[in-house]
Amino acid sequence: MHSTLRTPFWRAAYQSLPETVRHRYLAGIARAERWELALNAAGDALSRMKIIVARLFSTPAKPRPAH
C-alpha cells in the first residue's frame, strides 16, 4: 500500500483494486482523498465561524414575568 493515503476509507478503496491496476489509479484516489480532507476542513471552519458570529450578534434574553 502506498503511504500517501491517510484515511482508512481510501486505503481500503486502493486495496480493493486488483494489484495489476493499482498504480494506474493511485494518483486519482490520492487526489480524491485530498479533496475530501480539504472539504471537511472547510466545513469545520465554516461551522466554527457560524458559532462565533452567532455569539457576537446574540443579545441576552429579557427576563419574563412569572405571570
Provide the residue range defining the domain that includes 45.
8-57
Cell numbers linked to 60: 441576552
Write the pLDDT tens digit of every residue in 2-46.
578 999 999 999 999 999 999 999 999 999 999 999 999 999 999
Greater confidence, 65 or 37?
37
Residue 66 lies in a domain: no
Q: What average pLDDT does the segment 55-64 reach?
A: 80
The predicted pLDDT at position 2 comes to: 54
Q: How many structural domains comprise the chain?
A: 1
Residue 50 domain flag:
yes
For residues 4 and 30, what is the distance between their CA atoms, to the nearest angstrom?
7
The x, y and z cell numbers of residue 6, run together, are 491517510
Which residue bears the cell 405571570? 67
Query: In this predicted structure, what is the pLDDT of residue 66?
Result: 75
CB of 7 within 8 A of CB of 37?
yes
pLDDT of residue 58: 83
1, part of any domain: no
